[in-house]
Structure 1
Amino acid sequence: MTTYSHTLAILACLLFAGCSSLPASNQEVVPPQTQYDSIIADDKGRLLSINQLAEKLTPADVVVIGEYHGHHAAHLLQSLVQSSLYQQRPRQVLSMEQFTLDDQSQLDRYLSGKSGEEELIADTGAWPNYKASYRPLIEFSKKRNIPVIAANAPADIVRCVGRTGEAYLDGLHASQRQRLPEAPFFDTPAYRRKFFDTLGGGHGETDNSKRLENSYKAQLLRDNTMADRVIRALEENPEHQVIHLTGTFHSEDRLGMVAVLEKKRPDLDVAVISPVFWHSGDDLDSLLKAHRGKGDFLYFLQPLPEEYKDNERHRDAIMEQFRNADDLSCD
Structure 2
Amino acid sequence: MKPIFCICLLSLATLVATAQDKPAYRLFDQSGKEVSYGQMLKNSKKADVVFFGEQHNNPISHWLQIELAQDLEKESNGRLIMGAEMFERDNQSILTEYLNGQINTKSFEEEARVWDNYATDYKPLVELAKSKKLPFIATNVPRRYANMVYKQGIESLNPLTSEAKSWIAPLPIEVDMNLPSYQAMAKMMGGHGGEAATTNLVKSQAVKDATMGYFIAQNLKKGHVFLHFNGAYHSDLKEGTVWYVRKYAPGKDMVTISTVEQDNIDKLDEENLKKADFIICVPAKMTKTY
Q: TM-score range by the shorter chain?
A: 0.7 to 0.9
Task: Output one character per residue of 1:151-199: Cα deviation in whole Å (capped at 9) or x when no partner.
Answer: 00011111111111111111101222244222424335123212112x2
Measure the CA separation in 2 of the matches of 1:94 and 1:32.
32
Is 1:187–1:256's contact at 8 Å kept on the other side of the alignment?
A: no
Q: Which amino acid aligns with 1:53?
A: M
1:274 aligns with 2:237: no
Is 1:50–1:84's contact at 8 Å kept on the other side of the alignment?
A: no
Measure the CA separation in 2 of the matches of 1:29 and 1:252.
32
1:228 aligned residue: 214
Instruction: Please tell me whether Structure 1 or Structure 2 has the larger radius of gyration of its CA atoms.
Output: 2
Measure the CA separation in 1 of the matches of 2:236 and 2:37.
20
Q: Unmatched 5+ residue regions in structure 1?
A: 1-27, 308-331
Give 1:118 shift.
2.2
1:200 aligns with 2:186: no
Q: Which amino acid aligns with 1:193?
A: Q
Measure the CA separation in 2 of the matches of 1:115 and 1:158.
29
Q: 1:74 to 1:127 in 2, by over 3 A?
A: same
1:290 aligned residue: 271
Q: Which amino acid aligns with 1:241?
A: V
1:300 aligns with 2:289: no
1:255 aligns with 2:239: yes
Q: Which amino acid aligns with 2:246?
A: E
Measure the CA separation in 2 of the matches of 1:29 and 1:39.
16
Instruction: Classify the secondary structure of the residue corresponding to 1:163.
Output: helix
Is 1:32–1:278's contact at 8 Å kept on the other side of the alignment?
A: no
2:146 aligned residue: 158
Is 2:258–2:279's contact at 8 Å kept on the other side of the alignment?
A: yes
Task: Output one character per residue of 1:276-302: Cα deviation in whole Å (capped at 9) or x when no partner.
Answer: 1121xx353352x43221000000113
Is 1:98–1:150's contact at 8 Å kept on the other side of the alignment?
A: yes
Is 1:32–1:39's contact at 8 Å kept on the other side of the alignment?
A: no
Structure with greater proportional helix content: 1
1:113 aligns with 2:101: yes
1:66 aligns with 2:53: yes
Give 1:239 shift.
1.9
Is 1:186–1:260's contact at 8 Å kept on the other side of the alignment?
A: no
Q: 1:207 to 1:42 in 2, by over 3 A?
A: closer
Greater shift in the superposed pair: 182-191 or 216-225: 182-191
Q: Which amino acid aligns with 2:230?
A: T
The answer to which structure, 1 or 2, has the higher relative contact order (CA under 8 A, 6+ apart) is 2
* RMSD after superposition: 2.3
Matches within 5 A, 1:70-85: 70-85=57-72
Instruction: Classify the secondary structure of the residue corresponding to 1:151.
Output: strand
Q: Which amino acid aligns with 2:219?
A: A
Q: Percent identity?
A: 25
Q: Which amino acid aligns with 2:225?
A: Q
Q: Report the count of equivalent residues.
A: 268
Matches within 5 A, 1:30-109: 37-89=24-76, 90-109=78-97
Give 1:30 shift.
8.0
Q: Unmatched 5+ residue regions in structure 2?
A: 1-17
Greater shift in the superposed pair: 187-196 or 146-155: 187-196
Q: 1:138 to 1:167 in 2, by over 3 A?
A: same
Greater shift in the superposed pair: 98-107 or 207-216: 207-216
